[in-house]
Amino acid sequence: MIRSYLFVPGDDLKKLDRSKTSPADALIYDLEDSVGPERKEAARVIVRDHIRALGAGGHHKVVRVNSFPTGLTAGDLAVVMQAAPDSILLPKCESQAELDRLGHVLDALEAREGIAAGRTKVLALVTETAPAVLVAASTRLSHPRLTALTWGAEDLSADIGAVAKAGPDGVLDDTFKYARVVCLLSASAAGVTPLDTVYADFRDLQGFEAECVTAKRMGFLSKMAIHPSQVEPINRIFSPSQAELDWARKVVEAFAKSGNGGVTQMDGKMLDKPHLKLAQRLLGTA
């Protein structure tokens, strides 16, 4: 189970070099927001060569390409797929058609590069524009390559004209709470991992840990980081505690002893199938 995804600017050689020893489960090589227009083409080659040099194993390697409306997506993919990354992160995904389009491009590039068909997985950012939020709320997004859905607040702020995404107390405004919930429910409906977004103030570790705790309580299974200092809290908080694992094992055992029926009891409390499903999910994340 991938708990932590660390963003690394695709054209920053120093940060790319440091990322090799990061405790993050996955690295997101960014070709989008953190790379200026004049560096887009150079970043493609830098990321390709970096992934090639690392080889197989180690971090799960994700590349965030530019969105389809930019006209840069195909060029990004044509270069980085030469290094066979594990996953592609599609930003500003506004429709099922975009997922299908990305899948078709990956089909062709896997064949060109001799990569096993379907090996390259897809993560999608589904709340960065108002249309994207509405589509994710009303359509069950799906694709054989899709493994995770995540959300973003910064681009959504710009799209709708919000001057901030939270009040003075740090609590998200309703629009962004809604986007977060839409992402969580859409991921659950699609049967993929719900991935929580970044926390921009990387100096505020206390606030960051509190947000991680909230995300885990809500049902998110992993979180993105924009700074190396955020990785350890993510790994710690999104790993099931010993108490949670002990409870999960007891639940599974209780259902097994009862013949795996619809209802059983444990420690004087009634349990039904949702408890078993949660227990199995906890054990799976371990």
**Collapsing DSSP states into helix, strand and coil, what is residue 220?**
coil
> From CA 183, how far away is CA 188, in angstroms rounded?
9
Domains and CATH numbers, the chain: 4-239 (3.20.20.60), 243-285 (no CATH)
> From CA 25, how far away is CA 59, in angstroms rounded?
6
Q: What is the pTM of this model?
A: 0.89
> From CA 93, how far away is CA 186, in angstroms rounded?
13
Residues 180-199: tens digit of each pLDDT: 999 999 999 999 999 999 99
pLDDT of residue 266: 75
R_g of the chain computed on alpha carbons? 20
Residues 204-224: tens digit of each pLDDT: 999 999 999 999 999 999 999
Judge whether residue 170 has pLDDT over 90.
no
Determine the residue type at 182. Answer: V
pLDDT of residue 6: 98
> From CA 269, how far away is CA 151, in angstroms rounded?
37
Q: What is the mean pLDDT of residues 30-34?
A: 96
pLDDT of residue 256: 79
The pairing of beta strand 26-30 with beta strand 60-64: parallel
Q: What is the mean pLDDT of residues 81-85?
A: 98
Quote the DSSP letter at residue 258: T
Encoded tokens for 109: 């590039």
pLDDT of residue 241: 72
